[in-house]
Amino acid sequence: MKDLQESSSLPEYVILICCFSLLFAWSGQAAASSNSCVDCHSNPKFVTTNKKLYTYYLRSENSVHAHAGVTCIDCHAGHPDKADKASAHGNSAKGADVALSAVYYSNIPNTCGKCHKEIVSNYKKSKHYEYLSKDNLLEMRGANCVTCHDMGMSASEGNNLMAKAIASCKICHNYKTGNYPNIPKRIRVVLERYAAAKTLYSNLIIQHHDKIPEQVKNRLANSFLVIIDNLHALHLGKVEVDSNKLLVSMKDIRRKLRKGIAIDCN
C-alpha cells in the first residue's frame, strides 16, 4: 500500500516541476522583452520604413559601446519601461522640444561626458566647443563628438576613424570656405604618426616586455594620453610636435632593442 501511495503521488511532483519551469521561462522571457527600445527599434519593418534607423540599430548591437554595457538610454535617455512611443521617447522625441534631447547636437558633449569626462573637459577648451555653444543660429556651428567619432562603430571598424575624422574636417576646413584649409592635411599627418607609434608600442611591449623599464613604459603611455588630450582641445601645434617626438622615440627604442642595447630610463 505504501509503495502504491508513493507511486500515485509521483505525477503531482512532475506537474509541479513543470509548472515552475514554465513560470521561470515566462519570467525570463518577460524580462528579456521589457526594454521597449529594443522591442521597437529591432523590428524588421524599419528595413522599408526607415532603413537608416534600422541599420543604426543593427550596428549599435555590435558596437564598442554595446560591448562595454552601454544601453540605449545611457545616450538617448527615454523610458524603456513604457510601451507607447510618446512615453518611451519622453524628451528625446522629435515632438515637443527637440533641444531637450540628450543627442541634440549641442547636448552631445554633456551626454558623452557622463563617461568620457576628461576627454570632454579638454574638448570644452577648444574653438569647436566655443562655436557649438553660440546662441546665434547664423554663426557657424562647431564640431561635436559625433562629428569625428561614429557612435555605432564596431571594434572591427576602428581603422575607419581616421577617414571619418578627415572627411568631417573638410566640411568646414577647405579652400572654398577659406577656413584654415590646411587643417585636414595636418590632422591626417598627426593621426598617422599616432597610429604608427601606437602600433610600434604594442608590438614592442608584446615582444620585449621584460627589456623595457616600467618607467619608460609609463612615460610612453602618458605621452599617448597627452596627445589625445591636446588633440581634443585643438592644440594642434603642440600635438604635431609631441606626435613627432613620440614616433621618433618609439623608433629609437626599436633600434636599440634590435641591436641589443639596454633601454635607459632617461
Q: What is the pLDDT of residues 157-194, one digit of tens each?
A: 544 678 888 998 999 999 999 999 999 999 999 999 99
Task: Give the closest residue to 242 by CA, choosing from 254, 231, 232, 258.
Answer: 231
Task: Assess contact for 225 and 239: CB atoms under 8 A.
Answer: no
- Check: CB of residue 224 under 8 Å from CB of residue 190: no
Residue 71: inside a domain: no
- List the domain range (segments joined by +) for residue 27: 1-32
Predicted local confidence at residue 224, as pLDDT: 95
Nearest to residue 223, comparing CAs of 262, 260, 253, 184? 253
Q: How far apart are CA 243 and CA 234, in angstroms?
A: 14
60 and 73 Cβ atoms separated by less than 8 Å: no
At position 104, the amino acid (one-letter code) is Y
Tell me, yes or no, whether 262 lies in a domain: yes
Name the residue among 147, 134, 107 with its Cα closest to residue 232: 147
> Which residues, including other chains, have CB under 8 Å from residue 10's CB and lie 6 or more apart?
none
23-51 residue pLDDT tens: 444 444 444 447 888 888 888 888 888 88
Say if 261 falls within a structural domain. Answer: yes
Looking at the structure of the chain, the number of domains it has is 2
In terms of Cβ atoms closer than 10 Å to its own Cβ (0-12, 13-18, 19+), residue 110 is exposed
65 in a domain, yes or no?
Answer: no
Q: Residue 2 falls within a domain, yes or no? A: yes
Q: Is 28 exposed, middle or buried (0-12, 13-18, 19+ CB in 10 A)?
A: exposed
Residue 197 is given by DSSP the state H
Domain for residue 217, yes or no?
Answer: yes
Against a cut of 0.75, is the pTM above it? no
Classify residue 238: in a domain, yes or no: yes
- In order along its 266 residues, the chain shows pLDDT tens digits of 444 444 444 455 444 445 444 444 444 444 444 788 888 888 888 888 888 888 888 888 878 888 888 888 888 888 888 888 888 887 544 545 666 778 888 889 999 999 999 999 999 999 999 888 776 655 667 889 988 887 665 555 544 678 888 998 999 999 999 999 999 999 999 999 999 999 999 999 999 989 999 999 999 999 999 999 999 999 999 999 999 999 999 999 999 999 999 998 77
Report CA torsion sign: 89, 95, 96, 98.
positive
User: Is residue 259 a part of any domain in this protein?
Assistant: yes
Q: Tell me, what DSSP letter sits at residue 143? A: P
